[in-house]
Structure 1
Amino acid sequence: MTPQFEEDFQDLVYKAAELITGDTSPEMLEKIKAWAFYNHVHKALPALASHWNQTHPEGKAGMRSIFEEVKTLNQALQAAKKGQD
C-alpha cells in the first residue's frame, strides 16, 4: 500500500467513526476497524465467523463488547442529533 492510500483510508475510518459514534480517538478508530471487519466477515463468511467464535471465546467476548459500545455510542449520537432538531 502506498502512503497516500494509507492516509486516504485513515481519513475514511476517521469519518466513519465520527458519523457512527461521534468519537474519533485513536482507540475508537481501531475499534471501528475491528467492528467493520468482523461485521463484514460475519455477513460474508458466516461459517468462518462461527468457527472463530467457537475457537476464540475470549475474542468473541471482546468483539461483543466492541459491538455493544459502538451501538450505545451510536444511539446516544442519534438521540443528541434528534434533540438538536
Structure 2
Amino acid sequence: MNTDFEKEFNALVLKTAELITGDTSPEMLEKIKIWAFFNHVHKSLPALTSHWNQTHPESKAEVRRIFEEIRDLNQAQQAKKPESK
C-alpha cells in the first residue's frame, strides 16, 4: 500500500478520534477503527452482523462495550463545547 496514503488515512483516523472522543491514544485509534468498520457493516449488511453477533456473543459484548465507551466520551466531549448561538 502507498505509504503516503497510509499516513494520510491514519491522520484522518486520528482527527476523527480527537473530534469524537478527545482521545488520540493508540488504543483509542484502534477502537475508532473497530467502531467505524462495525457501524458501516451493520448499516450495509445487517444480516452479516446479526449472524456474527449470534455466533460470537463474547465479541458482540466487546463491540458493544467499545460503542458505549465512544458514545460516553463523545457526550462528554459535546458537554465541553460552549453553546453556539
Residues 24-65 of structure 1 deviation map (CA, whole Å, 9 limit, x = unaligned): 000000000000000000000000000000000011000000
TM-score where L is the length of structure 1: 0.95
Q: Is 1:82 aligned to 2:82, yes or no?
A: yes
Going by fraction, where is helix more abundant, 1 or 2? 1
Q: What SS does structure 1 have at the residue aligned with 2:24?
A: coil
Matched-pair identity in %? 70
Q: Counterpart of 1:42? A: 42
> How far apart, CA to CA, are the structure 2 residues paired with 1:22 and 1:45?
30
Kindly provide the amino acid, as one letter, of the partner of residue 77 in structure 2: L
Gaps of 5+ in 2: none
Alignment-derived partner of residue 21 in structure 2: 21
- Considering only aligned residues, what root-mean-square deviation do their CA atoms show, in Å? 1.5
Q: What is the rounded CA distance, in whole Å, between the counterparts of 1:3 and 1:78 in structure 2?
A: 34
Q: How many residues align?
A: 85
